[in-house]
């Protein structure tokens, strides 16, 4: 019971900070995209500090992180934590995210400022239209990393679901490098809101696929690489103490 209350309290603190920092730092964040990203990254680092102090959770980033030339990041999604890690480590991140999040007041303001694009998951026509708009918009940008979650939702460690074709549409249309990313963040901070003491939350940039090689890599290849490495991270997670 004590552990459950601790998890609930920690979650409340983290999400309350999201609103509090978001509101008080909004005047600064609204002045430019650069300042908005500074505020977001500060929030991420505060959350990481809380997780380290309260649960001794380590944040690890492996592989070669993209520079700020335009690219696509295709990542496994298990937790709010892997979102924060990508936001912190990538130079200029932006998400292709579900439209439901656009109704969250503070989060939606920051998301728009850094260039996130909403996609309605349960409406194929609107989803395709949003994807087309994202491609048109991104084609004009000469920097930044567009993050897409190919499963379209969070999964628990070890769970496998079908990947959606949107990542291939982006890759083919934008003609930019595609980074495949695995994670075990759902171990440290689960989808159900539980935290794991003495654990590692890892993001691994597995592979960079250049557009000239796109014909050699289909959806099955992308899925197998991300799933296999995520499973390896899940099995190899180190519990200290």
User: Nearest-CA neighbor of 96 among 59, 135, 58, 61?
Assistant: 135
- What is residue 120's predicted lDDT score, i.e. its pLDDT? 66
User: Nearest-CA neighbor of 147 among 107, 173, 105, 115?
Assistant: 115
Q: What domains are defined for the chain?
A: 2-236 (3.40.1130)
What's the rounded Cα separation, in Å, for the pair 32 and 47? 23
For the chain, which residues score pLDDT lower than 50? 1, 241
- What is residue 163's predicted lDDT score, i.e. its pLDDT? 93
pTM for this predicted structure: 0.91
pLDDT per position as a tens digit, 46-74: 999 999 999 999 999 999 999 999 999 99
What's the rounded Cα separation, in Å, for the pair 207 and 128? 27
- What is residue 58's predicted lDDT score, i.e. its pLDDT? 95
């Amino acid at each position: 019971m004590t552990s459950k209350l601790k998890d609930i309290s920690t979650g409340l603190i983290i999400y309350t900070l999201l609103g509090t920092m978001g509101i008080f730092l909004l005047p600064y964040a609204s002045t430019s995209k650069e300042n908005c990203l500074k505020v977001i990254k500060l929030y991420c680092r505060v959350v990481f500090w809380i997780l380290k102090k309260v649960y001794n959770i380590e944040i690890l980033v492996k592989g070669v992180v993209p520079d700020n030339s335009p690219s696509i990041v295709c990542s496994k999604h298990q937790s709010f934590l892997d979102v924060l890690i990508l936001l912190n480590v990538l130079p200029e991140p932006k998400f292709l995210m579900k439209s439901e999040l656009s109704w969250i007041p503070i989060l939606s303001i920051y998301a728009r400022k850094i260039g996130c694009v909403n996609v309605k998951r349960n409406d194929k026509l609107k989803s395709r239209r949003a994807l087309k708009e994202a491609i048109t918009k991104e084609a004009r940008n000469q920097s930044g990393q567009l993050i897409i979650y190919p499963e379209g939702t969070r999964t628990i460690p070890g769970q496998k679901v079908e990947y959606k074709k949107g990542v291939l549409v982006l890759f083919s249309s934008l003609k930019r490098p595609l980074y495949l990313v695995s994670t075990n963040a759902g171990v440290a901070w689960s989808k159900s809101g539980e935290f794991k003491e003495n654990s590692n939350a890892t993001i691994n940039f597995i592979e960079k696929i250049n557009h000239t090689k796109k014909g050699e890599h289909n959806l099955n290849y992308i899925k197998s690489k991300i799933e296999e490495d995520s499973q390896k991270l899940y099995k190899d997670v180190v519990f200290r103490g």
